[in-house]
Structure 1
Amino acid sequence: MLLHTILTRMIRTGSLTVRYPSGRIRVYGTGEAPMAGLWLRTPRAERRMVLNPGLALGELYMDGEVEPLDCSIFELLDLMAGNLWAGAPHPMETLNYQLRRLRRRIDQLNPAGRARRNVAHHYDLNGRLYALFLDRDRQYSCGYFPTGQETLDEAQTAKKRHIAAKLRLTEPGLEVVDIGCGWGGMALTLARDWGARVTGITLSEEQLGVARSRAEEAGLADRVRFELLDYRALPQFLGRPVDRVVSVGMFEHVGIDHYRSFFRTLRGLLKPDGVALIHAIGRAAGPGATNPWLTKYIFPGGYSPALSEVLPAVEASGLWVTDIEILRLHYAETLKHWRRRFAANRDAILSLYDERFCRMFEFYLAGAELSFRRSDHMNWQLQLSPSVDALPMSRDYMLDAERAAAGGRVSA
């Protein structure tokens, strides 16, 4: 039994109980907490867990060939994630990972047409789905938890405030471009609360319709516009440089082959004293490769880069890095809220899709949270400018602006 041998070597922390298709039950690990269980319901499931577990586990769970045994899918994945570093690696997963590393430039080629198809795969789902587990403003990116005790809505409000402070919107009427504007929440906030004039772009038809409706409903359509546009078309579309550029949760879809093009485009968009703020998921342990299940079912073409892969492209563009911040567990807390809200609204979501879809999203949210709690994932924020003297000498202005926007409350 190859899987038995692999699990014997791999599970060193806690206890994993496995029920095999034959009915035989084995326990791996220490026999102590934390504990989780795995039921392999078919011989095919057992074979696939040997050959390609990175892809197979999620697919088998979606299809009901694998079930958590006396635990939740989160608890099962938590135990397995905790053992990826402590125990011996899965030999086939190690090989598969190296192969993914070798072909990642091909996998991440994102010309405009492919980029739009990739976005549609995940973001053009039924709009009600996201309303059922996101915050009121539909912020589909990492919240900001200064204390860790904030509600989801408080954390997403704090995130927007944190980013706005870094953009240094010191006067009304500054022109801002929001690359990857989602359902419009950031753009509307910058216009309403900070006096900016904003152009938001997205590749999602679903998001575009919602964002435009929200601008009309908020009475901000004269100060905020939303367009279905690829970032590479922005210079020609705008025809002039702007004061500020913000991009939250979009850079993960750019692709490593396109980083230099992205930052050259960004530099061309900014006035000499302009400021940009890029917020994205990254990895702390250096370059890697995206999990194959995540690529196939959730974010085709997506990749969360190490800063060592991003900064050379920034340097080549001629932009100054004026500030870097690493947000460590903030996305883990965000995903915990999303996971719990999804569970609370599962029946409503099931009415929109089917059981397989619900299982797919449950697996995604649990695995994503654990990538921030147990692995090397984090968020980074890069503040950039074409000019060395476009911003004050110290970071104090950020905290001052954030405090003022929060009504004098200290946010950190």
Structure 2
Amino acid sequence: MADAAGRLTRIAQEVLGAPLPIRVRAWDRSESGPPGAPTLVFRNRRALRRLLFKPGELGLARAWVAGDLDVEGDLYQALDLMAELVWERGEDAAPTGRGAALLSLARRPEIRAAAKELLTLAGTPLPPRPPVEENRVRRGPLHTLRRDKEAISHHYDVGNAFYELVLGPSMVYSCAYWEDGPDATLEDAQRDKLDLICRKLGLEEGQRLLDVGCGWGSMVLHAAREYGVRAVGITLSEEQAAYARKRVAEAGLADRVEIRVQDYREIHDGPFDAISSIGMAEHVGRAQYAEYAADLYALLKPGGRLLNHQIARRPLKDEDGYQVDEFIDRYVFPDGELAPVGRTVAQLEDAGFEVRDVEAIREHYALTLRRWVANLEAHWDRAVRLTSPGRARVWRLYMAASALSFERNRIGVNQVLAVRTPESGTSGLPLRPRVWKG
């Protein structure tokens, strides 16, 4: 097993037909690759076995979460360098180019000798068990009430104290709005995002607001405190609801804000003057989205407004070729699905909404995610104690990779303002664009 790193580098370069852009360190302490580049560390042979038994993103994710694989140096740079090998995809969403060659190593007759050498390096040919953090058990059809609650629990019920470390005092888990530029504090940017939504909704004292997917209550608290509304926030996470209720009580707003553990499909006490849905629709699923849009439309008064803040993926050449991101699906957001913004707008219109404004703010999410990663890294030891080493590693990889995806325009995020316009045709919006209250 002497010089395992050199052998791994050589095999990779034979497949790529080009120098490996990242340095490699193996379990035998050997190193190979360009000096000064980030280092991909194979801590043991099990890391290689994970890649061989599950080539591609999921194998890499399992090795990373288990701690078998690590990166030394700039994580963002390392992910960027590895993107061509693993994550870059063509318009048809199928792996292409050098990355496809590397991940289909064993299927290429011309490099079977290299595949055999990798098997020798990997040792005992038994597939390692996935890390315990992986969500592998799914019960029932997609997006039933029960299954959606289980999926939400997997992501959000990992401890409010952990989220406090990552999100900071605002406890807002969606894209901030960097109105004052990237040097602003995360707290100010999150406050500006909440206030922007309130202004787009045209909130006024005495109105009734529904916040779908209210998280830890930041939106309903801001709207009630700053705009005098009566607000209902719903979430499927028991831990979020308990935390939000405590914040509401401490703010002295219990007479104006109600927090419920409830699915949007179970709300029967409308109508509302306004609805906010911030970072929640990604969980709905494409098969369920028409019902989601119709339910929110039915819950609004005529003239009422919906602000739908949602991550979007780039359109595919063949929409039927949609593929699930295995790492995100297994470790981060089970059953989550992203749609192009055009499809979201079309489905809101199909439900009866008049879409009045779409604001794309993907660069804002990249800035937000980098701040969250910095928070996690600054409190790493405590984050590990509060959850587990694997769970902390999941969040670090997920947020860093997502920041790069927003920066490279692989995914985006949009605020869609829609109105339940009455038969009179009076929308209630001012004539001037980007002025949200007349």
Contact 1:135 1:156 in 2 (8 A): no
**Residue by residue, what CA displacement relative to the aligned partner does 1:198-239 show, whole Å, maximum 9, x if unpaired?**
1110001001111111111111111111111000111x2x1x
Once superposed, what is the RMSD of the aligned Cα atoms?
2.8
Other-structure match for 1:204: 237
Structure 2 SS opposite 1:367: helix
1:151 and 2:185 correspond = yes
For 2:248, which of 193, 215, 228 is the aligned residue? 215
AA in 2 matched with 1:55? L
Range with greater deviation from structure 2 (381-390 or 316-325): 381-390
Contact 2:9 2:20 in 1 (8 A): no
Contact 2:13 2:20 in 1 (8 A): no
Measure, in 1, the Cα distance between the counterparts of 2:206 and 2:430: 20
Deviation, structure 1 residue 347: 1.8
Measure, in 2, the Cα distance between the counterparts of 1:76 and 1:353: 25
1:67 and 2:70 correspond = yes
AA in 2 matched with 1:291? D
Measure, in 1, the Cα distance between the counterparts of 2:171 and 2:186: 11
Other-structure match for 1:190: 223
Other-structure match for 1:393: 431
Other-structure match for 2:314: 284
Contact 2:212 2:280 in 1 (8 A): yes
AA in 2 matched with 1:53? G
Deviation, structure 1 residue 134: 0.9
Other-structure match for 2:55: 52
Measure, in 2, the Cα distance between the counterparts of 1:12 and 1:264: 52
Other-structure match for 1:98: none
Measure, in 2, the Cα distance between the counterparts of 1:78 and 1:373: 11
Deviation, structure 1 residue 162: 1.1
**Residue by residue, what CA displacement relative to the aligned partner does 1:137-188 show, whole Å, maximum 9, x if unpaired?**
200111011222211001101101111111012x311111000000100001
**Residue by residue, what CA displacement relative to the aligned partner does 1:238-292 show, whole Å, maximum 9, x if unpaired?**
1x31110001010111011101000000110111111000001112344653421
Give the direction of change, closer, same or farther, for the CA distance of 1:82–1:335 in structure 2 (3 Å limit). Answer: farther
1:78 and 2:80 correspond = yes
Range with greater deviation from structure 2 (174-183 or 45-54): 45-54
For 2:40, which of 38, 45, 48 is the aligned residue? 38
Range with greater deviation from structure 2 (373-382 or 187-196): 373-382
1:120 and 2:150 correspond = no
Contact 1:204 1:228 in 2 (8 A): yes
Contact 2:9 2:24 in 1 (8 A): no
Give the direction of change, closer, same or farther, for the CA distance of 1:315–1:94 in structure 2 (3 Å limit). Answer: farther
**Residue by residue, what CA displacement relative to the aligned partner does 1:281-319 show, whole Å, maximum 9, x if unpaired?**
112344653421221111111122211332332232111
Other-structure match for 2:23: 17
Instruction: Please give the TM-score of this superposition, normalised by the length of structure 1.
Output: 0.84
Q: Which runs of 4+ in 1 moved over 6 A?
A: 11-14
> Structure 2: any 5+ residue segments left out of the alignment?
1-6, 90-96, 106-138
Structure 1 SS opposite 2:357: strand
Measure, in 2, the Cα distance between the counterparts of 1:324 and 1:340: 30
1:263 and 2:296 correspond = no
Other-structure match for 1:89: 99
Measure, in 2, the Cα distance between the counterparts of 1:376 and 1:214: 36
1:383 and 2:385 correspond = no
Equivalent pairs counted in the alignment come to 381
Give the direction of change, closer, same or farther, for the CA distance of 1:336–1:193 in structure 2 (3 Å limit). Answer: same
Other-structure match for 1:246: 276
For 1:179, which of 212, 220, 226 is the aligned residue? 212
Measure, in 1, the Cα distance between the counterparts of 2:354 and 2:368: 30
AA in 1 matched with 2:256? R
Measure, in 1, the Cα distance between the counterparts of 2:340 and 2:45: 38
Deviation, structure 1 residue 351: 2.2
Deviation, structure 1 residue 190: 0.5
Deviation, structure 1 residue 396: 4.1
Q: Which has the larger radius of gyration?
A: 2
Give the direction of change, closer, same or farther, for the CA distance of 1:65–1:110 in structure 2 (3 Å limit). Answer: same
Contact 1:107 1:301 in 2 (8 A): no
